């Protein structure tokens, strides 16, 4: 293995709460694979973080093994990156206890993720994007006042940012690739590092930065018509789903009634499906000169009966190709997105990429 002494340290992990889905892949795993050649990369399975959702112990251990397997299947190379289980490092739990002594309850309760997850666990309404949120005092009353024997928010959920900070600081990570929903936690990590260093008059911890690949952050939508893909929402396409399961999920995805007037904006559910198609398809530059010649109406009946057709949303019918592969090539020449064919022997509907 090549020496990583002079390389900057990168750290990231995924909670072991179930199999990984497309959101995990495009938001994290695919980036892990890109980083492992150029950085001292450390990727872990966050089984301690998973305890905040009270998982079944047997499922927790099985999920750890499944995620390790999916890390490897996605392209992480143990010869290039360090892959480990969070609970295998006892110093993480020890520093978690010590760092909590320098963290205020108020700053933890003000984190957006805690408020949202606590409400979900207690069955309290979670404000949608753009909807006015309650004051911190009202939220505190909601959470504390709604706890019961059957529903409660465990302290681990409140101190989740502290444990995340420990994961990062104990490895002295320079870079941490996080999504938009984790940026607040990363800022808290920097704050905790400064506080610890100042209190003990030391330069023990490095202040990490968010690793930005450039461009906008990828938001992978779910199959339920709104929001992002997530395990708790039950709207996922998992990396281990077989062809039959994939087809069943996609066919049941939320759509709409279709356009009711010309130039009507695409609804959010349909736009979400097109986003998924774009993420999982191969982009091909549009070539308008490759468009086939429109056929006369009198020839359409003959062409339909003699060869397979591939349909497209276009102002006029296109001449059918003599074979499926040729037809696919014609469509590929003029479309920016190609949907992978499930069965090579049967033509699949293909559409040009919608204008954004």
Give the helix/strand (H/E) hosting 15: strand 9-15
Give the helix/strand (H/E) hosting 82: strand 81-85
**Residue 72 dihedral angles phi and psi, to the nearest 5°:** -65, -40
* CA atoms within 13 A of residue 1's CA, in its CB half-sphere: 13
Q: Is 117 a catalytic residue?
A: yes
Q: Which of 117, 132, 180, 244 is catalytic?
A: 117
Q: Which of 31, 120, 219, 228 is catalytic?
A: 228
Q: Which of 120, 231, 249, 353 is catalytic?
A: 231
**CB neighbours of residue 316 within 10 Å:** 8
Contact present, 308 and 347 (Cβ < 8 Å): yes
Q: Is 6 a catalytic residue?
A: no
Separation between Cα atoms, residue 285 and residue 333, nearest integer Å? 8
Specify which residues 209 forms β-bridges with. Answer: 175
SS3 228: strand
CA neighbor of 20 nearest in space, from 84, 63, 77, 56: 63
Contact present, 318 and 300 (Cβ < 8 Å): no
Separation between Cα atoms, residue 277 and residue 249, nearest integer Å? 14
CA neighbor of 41 nearest in space, from 11, 5, 74, 71: 11
CA 7 to chain centre: 27
Q: Is 228 a catalytic residue?
A: yes
Contact present, 264 and 290 (Cβ < 8 Å): no
> Would you state the torsion angle of the CA atoms of residues 193, 14, 74, 72, taken in this order, to the nearest 10 degrees?
90
SS3 14: strand
Separation between Cα atoms, residue 152 and residue 175, nearest integer Å? 34
Q: Which residues belong to the active site?
A: 117, 228, 231
């Amino acid at each position: 293995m090549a020496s990583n002494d002079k390389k900057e340290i990168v750290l990231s992990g995924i909670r072991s709460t179930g199999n990984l889905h497309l959101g995990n892949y495009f938001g994290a795993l695919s980036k892990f694979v890109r980083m492992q050649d150029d950085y001292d990369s450390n990727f872990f399975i966050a089984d301690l973080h998973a305890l905040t959702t009270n998982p079944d112990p047997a499922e927790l251990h099985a999920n750890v093994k499944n995620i390790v397997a999916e890390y490897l299947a996605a392209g992480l190379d143990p010869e290039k990156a360090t892959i480990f289980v969070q609970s295998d490092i006892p110093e993480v739990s020890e520093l978690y206890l010590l760092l909590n002594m320098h963290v205020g309850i108020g700053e933890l309760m003000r984190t957006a993720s805690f408020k949202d997850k606590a409400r979900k666990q207690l069955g309290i309404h979670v404000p949608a994007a753009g909807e006015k949120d309650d004051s911190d005092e009202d939220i505190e009353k909601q959470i504390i006042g709604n706890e019961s024997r059957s529903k409660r928010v465990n302290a681990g959920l409140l101190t989740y940012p502290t444990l995340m900070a420990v994961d990062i600081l104990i490895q002295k990570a320079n870079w941490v690739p996080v999504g938009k929903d984790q940026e607040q936690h990363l800022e808290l990590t920097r704050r905790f590092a400064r506080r610890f260093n100042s209190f003990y008059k030391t330069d023990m911890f490095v202040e990490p930065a968010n690793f930005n690949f450039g461009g906008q952050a990828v938001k992978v939508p779910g199959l339920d018509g709104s929001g992002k893909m997530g395990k708790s929402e039950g709207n996922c396409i998992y990396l281990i789903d077989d062809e039959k399961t994939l087809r069943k999920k996609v066919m049941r995805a939320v759509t709409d009634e279709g356009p009711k007037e010309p130039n009507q904006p695409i609804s959010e559910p349909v736009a979400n499906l097109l986003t998924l198609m774009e993420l999982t398809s191969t982009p091909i530059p549009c070539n308008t000169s490759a468009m086939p010649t429109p056929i006369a109406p009198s020839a359409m009946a003959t062409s339909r009966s003699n060869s397979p057709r591939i349909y497209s949303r276009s102002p006029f019918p296109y001449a059918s190709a003599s074979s499926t592969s040729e037809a696919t090539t014609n469509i590929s020449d003029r479309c920016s997105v190609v949907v992978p064919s499930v069965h090579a022997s049967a033509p699949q509907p293909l559409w040009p990429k919608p204008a954004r």
